[in-house]
């Protein structure tokens, strides 16, 4: 029983105890890392599993020779793409049924027009959402489910699913490989990632606000 609890603790905090896990379980670490990344991206009930930090620390251990860089990248890419795909298919299968149901409790709290609005949003901005969501904990877990529920087309979803997985896995694993043993970067990894995402999003938001202001100004002048 104690051994099982120790194993579960290692899995839930594997980003902090990866060295211990490698020492105790050896090559099984690859299978565990695959399952964790697949579960965090593929199952909406498991958003609490480590993601960004796990990839980063994995890269750091590749730099010390305890893990194989090429094998780790391939496995994590497959896990990330497959996880998002499963999550998308679940959303596509059950999402519309929730909105189409005639259960009084649901009808009271759900706006049926919301699904169509979400669908329109994902068709227009869904690609950027899927890619950027990769770098945001919790959002990363729910974005593919919402994309499926809003009926975002499969081909469009998969295009940005693969692109997002490539950027996420390669960037964080390679950052860990080259900088993972620098204490400051390891300690503030999540902050660094969020600042980088913010730097990418802010210009887009400002551009959208500017377009809205121009449209409102044009409508006011036409009256």
Dist CA 64 CA 80 (whole Å):
24
**Whole-prediction pTM:** 0.72
Model pLDDT for residues 61-111, shown as the tens digit of each residue = 888 888 899 999 999 999 999 999 998 998 888 866 665 655 554 455 445
Q: Please name the residue that has the structure tokens 């970067």.
A: 185
Is the model's pLDDT at 166 over the cut of 90? yes
Give the Cα separation of 72 and 70 in Å (integer): 5
């Amino acid at each position: 029983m104690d051994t099982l609890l120790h194993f579960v603790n290692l899995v839930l905090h594997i980003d902090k105890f990866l060295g211990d896990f490698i020492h105790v379980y050896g090559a099984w670490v690859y299978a565990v890392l695959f399952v964790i990344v697949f579960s965090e991206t593929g199952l909406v009930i498991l958003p609490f599993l480590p993601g960004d930090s796990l990839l980063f620390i994995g890269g750091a251990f590749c730099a010390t020779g305890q893990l194989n860089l090429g094998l780790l990248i391939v496995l994590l890419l497959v896990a990330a793409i497959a996880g998002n795909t499963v999550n998308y298919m679940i959303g596509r299968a059950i999402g519309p049924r929730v909105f189409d149901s005639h259960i009084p409790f649901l009808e009271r709290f759900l706006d049926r027009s919301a699904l169509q609005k979400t669908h329109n949003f994902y068709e227009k901005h869904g690609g950027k959402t899927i890619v950027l969501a990769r770098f945001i904990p919790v959002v990363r877990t729910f974005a593919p489910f919402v994309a499926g529920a809003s009926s975002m087309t499969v081909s469009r979803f998969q295009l940005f699913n693969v692109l997002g997985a490539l950027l996420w896995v390669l960037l964080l694993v390679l950052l860990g490989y080259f900088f993972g043993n620098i204490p400051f970067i390891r300690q503030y990894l999540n902050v660094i990632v969020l600042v980088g995402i913010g730097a990418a999003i802010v210009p887009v938001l400002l551009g959208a606000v500017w377009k809205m202001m121009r449209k409102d100004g044009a409508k006011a002048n036409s009256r």
